[in-house]
Structure formats: structure tokens, C-alpha cells
Amino acid sequence: MPTDQGRRPHQGHAERELWPRDFGRDGASGLVTLDRAMRARDAARPTMADELEAAEVVDSLLARIDGRRPRAYAR
């Protein structure tokens, strides 16, 4: 019968722990697991509406630099 001696509490999810939980040179490595970091990255990605709004702002700023009128965007 297998023994539980030496097992860590998260042993059933050991595959999730892909790097040691110590602080890296940036001072933040190890604060979150890889899974949490990937979920945060996915949640922080801009939506298509965000991308379109950013494109409008860039076009408007470039038009101001060139002395042109900015394009009208339909919303």
C-alpha cells in the first residue's frame, strides 16, 4: 500500500507547479503560478472594440500631425 509520507498537500496537482515558488530577478516571479499568470494574461487581452478604438485614436493623432482632418468612423 503506498504511503503518504513526504507528500506535499498539492501533490495531486504537481503538474501545475511548473517553476519553483521563489522570487526571480524581477522580484515578482514566484508570486503566482503559471496557471494564474496565463489566466491573467488572457483576461487582460483587449477586445475587438478596444482594438478599433485604439486604431481610431492613432489615425486621429496621425491626421493631426499631418495637418489633415481625421477620418470619421461609424460606431
What residue spans define the domains of the chain?
Answer: 14-44, 46-75
The confidence score (pLDDT) of residue 73 equals: 62
pLDDT exceeds cutoff 80 at 47: yes
Q: What is the pLDDT of residue 53?
A: 95
Instruction: Report yes or no: 70 and 59 within 8 Å, Cβ to Cβ.
Output: yes
- Cα–Cα distance, 61 to 41 (Å, whole number): 28
Q: What pLDDT score does 63 carry?
A: 92
The pLDDT of residue 32: 75
Rounded average pLDDT over 67-73: 72
Judging by beta carbons within 10 Å of its beta carbon (0-12, 13-18, 19+), is residue 26 exposed, middle or buried?
Answer: exposed
Which of 20, 47, 50 shows the shortest CA–CA distance to 34?
A: 20
pLDDT of residue 57: 94
Q: What is the DSSP string of 41-56?
A: HHHTSPPHHHHHHHHH
